[in-house]
């Protein structure tokens, strides 16, 4: 193994049993269950904690307004502090809910969600994709695979640019995330590869993560998803 063509990690995961194709094609039960848990947790946060925090925040603001022009300094300070805390808590709940299951993913699908993820990146990220629309379960796991791959490139490896490519190849979907960084140096690099491996394993696909000084880092997953599956 040379420095110019160094494999930093290679995780190949293969599903158990025979691949399901044609009329018998279905989402692996484990993948379905994991995606459902994500959606349920996000829904609980949005419909429960978020709504309650909004109500609390409105109540605090109304109470502050009712104090008039010359309120007790101590009471005013306490209320202002409570408003700031409620605003911070609401922002955190929204962030966690978006991390569990982004609404753009639910409403518009995989490609718009990945495009939004790329736009939010601190470094330039190019997204290349054809018209891809898959089942909600598959799109959920592919989205989080891409999210972890970009974090692996930017946060762990210090990449200055990256590219995401989603393409159909035969009866499968190929997900590729490349960056100009090599090798990863952050403490979370190994953990992120583990998360990516889990996403791919749930979909019964294969994952390879490689690095070379010439090409940078490439995360490539091949998933047995028929084109046009919904």
Tens of pLDDT, residue by residue over 168-215, are 887 789 999 999 887 666 566 778 888 889 889 888 899 998 888 777
Helices (H), 101-229: 103-108, 110-119, 136-151, 189-202
Nearest to 176 by CA among 212, 214, 142, 227: 142
Average pLDDT rounded to a whole number, residues 53-79: 79
Q: Can you give the pLDDT at residue 3?
A: 35
**DSSP state letter for 227:** T
**pLDDT, tens digit, 9 for 90 and up, residues 7-48:** 434 443 433 333 333 333 456 666 666 666 666 666 666 666
Nearest to 218 by CA among 229, 226, 230, 208: 208
Q: Can you give the pLDDT at residue 11?
A: 41
5 in helix, strand or coil? helix
Reported pTM: 0.63
From the centroid of its chain, how far is CA 41? 15
Q: Can you give the pLDDT at residue 226?
A: 54
Q: Can you give the pLDDT at residue 111?
A: 92
């Amino acid at each position: 193994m040379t420095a110019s063509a160094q494999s930093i990690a290679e995780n190949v995961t293969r599903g158990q049993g025979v691949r399901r194709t044609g009329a018998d094609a279905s989402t692996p039960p484990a993948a379905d269950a994991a995606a459902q848990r994500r959606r349920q947790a996000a829904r609980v946060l949005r419909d429960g904690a978020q709504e309650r925090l909004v109500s609390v925040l409105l109540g605090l603001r109304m109470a502050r307004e009712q104090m008039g022009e010359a309120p007790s300094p101590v009471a005013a300070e306490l209320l202002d502090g409570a408003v700031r805390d409620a605003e911070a808590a609401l922002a955190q709940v929204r962030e966690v809910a978006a991390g569990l299951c982004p609404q753009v993913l639910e409403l518009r699908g995989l490609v718009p969600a990945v495009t939004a993820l790329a736009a939010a990146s601190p470094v330039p990220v190019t997204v290349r994709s054809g018209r891809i629309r898959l089942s909600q379960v598959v799109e959920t796991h592919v989205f989080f695979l891409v999210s972890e791959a970009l974090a692996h490139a930017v946060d762990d490896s210090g990449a200055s640019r990256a590219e995401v490519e989603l393409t159909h190849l035969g009866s499968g979907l190929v997900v590729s995330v490349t960056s100009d960084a090599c090798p990863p140096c952050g403490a979370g690099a190994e953990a992120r590869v583990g998360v990516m491996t889990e996403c791919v394993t749930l979909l019964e696909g294969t994952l390879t993560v490689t690095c070379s000084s010439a090409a940078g880092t490439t995360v490539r997953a091949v998933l047995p998803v028929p084109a046009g599956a919904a």
